[in-house]
């Protein structure tokens, strides 16, 4: 497989009254054609900001990409013009946003919004684009899609709005789909159906997929590789089976330990990670996770670790060998 996306030392900050917020702090990863990558971590760790940075959708002010490179299909997206970037968004790279109610235009019908990228990027006339939009809504199981295409977002349930966003993202068969919490507000049955649909798109069109989620079960089932993020940085990355079978960062271990297991004694309590994520404007010295880490030693409080190889493509950013 050829390398489709390569992010190098990406840094995105927000200048606020509280100080300089390092939302993404030196993130590097790559993605192959047809591959699915999972981005996991607690709220506020930088997952969504990383995705928005790739599409250059960081609101300025107060946000700004201050360093790094984002190579897509061999081209650095940070060097191209805004006009060129508009041809990339929605056409070559599509994003399924987390909040459909705020992402959909309230004064346009849902069908019109699904059809619009087809008119812009595929030069379809309005009638053909609307017919294709109805087919896309049917694929994500919108009932009576031909009728509901003429409805407005406020007339849809939260789950239907989310499915409409997914249909919009798939419309132009992009080379990369970034799905930010794509199954929010959906019941588990529809979640599985839509995730299978997204995976089918990756298989049929060799489309790469980035899934941003808190749901580690989704990542275990659908992702080929995983990046675990904490405080704006990737703290562990690797093949999904390696991350789940042999986690090496205390944060990853904590996340996995907090998930209920089907074979677990129902009387056994879950083991949550103590404390709260750090304030990104006032990060602690050393490793950002050390105030919550049961393995922490003096070095963790003084020096920030870099990613280093564990085995093969498995990497961690931690001074401690948790296997000892």
User: Could you tell me the two tokens for 85?
Assistant: 């970037």
Domains of the chain: 1-92+176-184+204-261+275-324 (3.40.50.300), 96-173 (no CATH)
Three-state DSSP class for 153?
A: helix
Q: Within 13 Å and on the Cβ side, how many CA atoms surround 112?
A: 10
- Between CA 42 and CA 49 the distance in angstroms is 13
Three-state DSSP class for 117?
A: helix
pLDDT of 120 reads: 94
Q: Are 103 and 166 in contact (CB under 8 A)?
A: no
| Burial degree of 69 (CB within 10 A; 0-12, 13-18, 19+) | middle
Residue of 108, 116, 157 lying closest to 136 (CA atoms):
116
* Nearest-5° Cα angle at 230, 304 to 180: 150
Mean pLDDT, rounded, for 119-136: 96
| pLDDT above 80 (res 264) | no
| pLDDT above 80 (res 91) | yes
Starting at the earlier edge strand, list the strands of the sheet with 36-40.
93-96, 176-180, 208-213, 36-40, 225-230, 233-239, 314-316, 308-311
Query: Which comes out higher in pLDDT, residue 268 or 136?
Result: 136
Cis-peptide, bond into residue 155, ω within 30° of zero: no
Match 């798109």 to its residue by tokens.
201
Q: What is the pLDDT of residues 138-193, one digit of tens each?
A: 988 899 999 999 999 999 988 889 889 989 999 999 999 999 988 876 788 888 88
Three-state DSSP class for 124?
A: coil
Distance set, CA 56 to CA 51, 80, 180, 201, 208 (Å): 9, 11, 15, 24, 19
**Which residues lie below 8 Å from residue 163, measured CB to CB, with a gap of 6+?**
137, 140, 141, 142, 186, 190, 194
Mean pLDDT, rounded, for 194-221: 90
Q: Where residue 10 falls among pLDDT bands split at 50, 70, 90?
A: very high
Three-state DSSP class for 30?
A: strand
**Which residues lie below 8 Å from residue 246, measured CB to CB, with a gap of 6+?**
314
The two beta strands, 75-76 and 93-96, are unpaired
Query: Which comes out higher in pLDDT, residue 216 or 184?
Result: 216
- Between CA 43 and CA 38 the distance in angstroms is 15
Q: What is the pLDDT of residues 70-90, one digit of tens each?
A: 999 989 999 999 999 999 999
Three-state DSSP class for 197?
A: helix
Match 């880490």 to its residue by tokens.
293
Q: Are 140 and 164 in contact (CB under 8 A)?
A: yes
| pLDDT above 70 (res 1) | no
In the chain the beta strands, taken as DSSP E runs, fall at 3-16, 19-32, 36-40, 63-72, 75-76, 93-96, 176-180, 208-213, 225-230, 233-239, 308-311, 314-316
Mean pLDDT, rounded, for 255-280: 84
- Between CA 74 and CA 104 the distance in angstroms is 31
pLDDT > 70: percent of the chain: 99
């Amino acid at each position: 497989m050829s390398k489709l996306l390569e992010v190098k030392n990406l840094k995105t900050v927000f200048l606020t009254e509280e100080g300089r917020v390092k939302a993404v702090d030196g993130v590097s990863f790559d993605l192959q054609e047809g591959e699915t990558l999972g981005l996991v971590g607690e709220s506020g760790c930088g997952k969504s900001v990383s995705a928005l940075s790739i599409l250059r959708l960081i609101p300025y002010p107060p946000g700004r990409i201050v360093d790094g490179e984002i190579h897509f299909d061999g081209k650095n997206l940070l060097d191209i013009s805004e006009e060129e970037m508009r041809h990339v968004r929605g056409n070559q790279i599509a994003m399924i946003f987390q909040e459909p109610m705020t992402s959909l235009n309230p004064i346009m019908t849902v069908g019109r919004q699904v059809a619009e990228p087809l008119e812009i990027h595929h030069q379809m006339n309005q009638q053909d684009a609307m017919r294709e939009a109805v087919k896309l809504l049917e694929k994500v199981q919108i009932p009576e899609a031909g009728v509901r295409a003429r409805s407005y977002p406020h007339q849809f349930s939260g789950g239907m709005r989310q499915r409409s966003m997914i249909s919009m993202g798939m419309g132009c068969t992009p080379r990369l789909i970034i799905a930010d919490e794509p199954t929010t507000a959906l019941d588990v049955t529809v979640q599985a159906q839509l995730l299978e649909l997204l995976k089918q798109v990756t298989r049929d069109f060799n489309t790469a997929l980035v899934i941003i989620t808190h749901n580690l079960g989704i990542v275990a089932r659908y992702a080929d590789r995983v990046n675990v993020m904490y405080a704006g940085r990737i703290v562990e990355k690797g093949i999904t089976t390696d991350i789940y079978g042999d986690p090496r960062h205390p944060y990853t271990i904590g996340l996995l330990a907090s998930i209920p297991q089907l074979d677990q004694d129902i009387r056994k309590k879950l083991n949550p990670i103590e404390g709260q994520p750090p304030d990104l404007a006032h990060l602690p010295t050393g490793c950002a996770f050390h105030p919550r880490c049961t393995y922490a030693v003096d070095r963790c409080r003084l020096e920030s670790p870099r990613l280093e190889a564990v085995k093969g493509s498995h990497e961690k950013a931690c001074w401690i060998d948790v296997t000892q």
